[in-house]
Amino acid sequence: MQEKTLAIIKPDAFSRNSGGQIIAMAEAKELSLIGAKLLHLTQQEVQGFYKVHREKVFFDSLTQFMSEGPIFVLVFQGENAIVRWRETMGATNPAEAEEGTVRAQFGENIERNAVHGSDSPESASFEISYFFNELELVR
């Protein structure tokens, strides 16, 4: 099934100029890049994006981290794009991520783990619309 998923290259990976390599890893998994933006969000904007985690203990440190520098927000499209991107990212904790995954290669720790990806069609819909309108996505 063709679907779209949101991906974010987080400030840690962006600051190390890893964006091109990460995009290449996604493209190698037959994910097509159909939208991209370079942004530097305020902590309030990040809080709106991560509102589903508002009650979790890591919310404040996550939103602080995600607003500390530029991020690269991407939309990938492809067959089973959500699962395919999540497999490409690897486990949330880079120490547990399989060799060859984005987080194993570029992640520093469980919070500074290089990338974000939608976890369901519902979250992908919300996340993509948070950053993009339909005119900004290649059809």
User: What beta strand segments (E) does the chain contain?
Assistant: 2-9, 32-39, 71-79, 115-117
pLDDT 10s digits, 13-61: 999 999 999 999 999 999 999 999 999 999 999 999 999 999 999 999 9
Check which CATH number belongs to the domain holding 108 and give it.
Answer: 3.30.70.141
Catalytic residue of the set 5, 9, 116, 131: 116
- For the beta sheet containing 71-79, the strands, ordered from the edge strand earlier in sequence to the opposite edge, are 32-39, 71-79, 2-9, 115-117
Confidence at residue 134, expressed as pLDDT on a 0 to 100 scale: 93
Confidence at residue 56, expressed as pLDDT on a 0 to 100 scale: 94
Q: Is the pLDDT reported for residue 1 higher than 80?
A: no
Confidence at residue 132, expressed as pLDDT on a 0 to 100 scale: 98
* Cα distance between residue 15 and residue 1, in whole Å: 34
Q: Tell me which residue range forms the domain holding 120.
A: 2-136
Confidence at residue 139, expressed as pLDDT on a 0 to 100 scale: 82
The predicted model scores a pTM of 0.96
Verify whether residue 116 is a known catalytic residue. Answer: yes
- Per the structure, the count of domains in the chain is 1
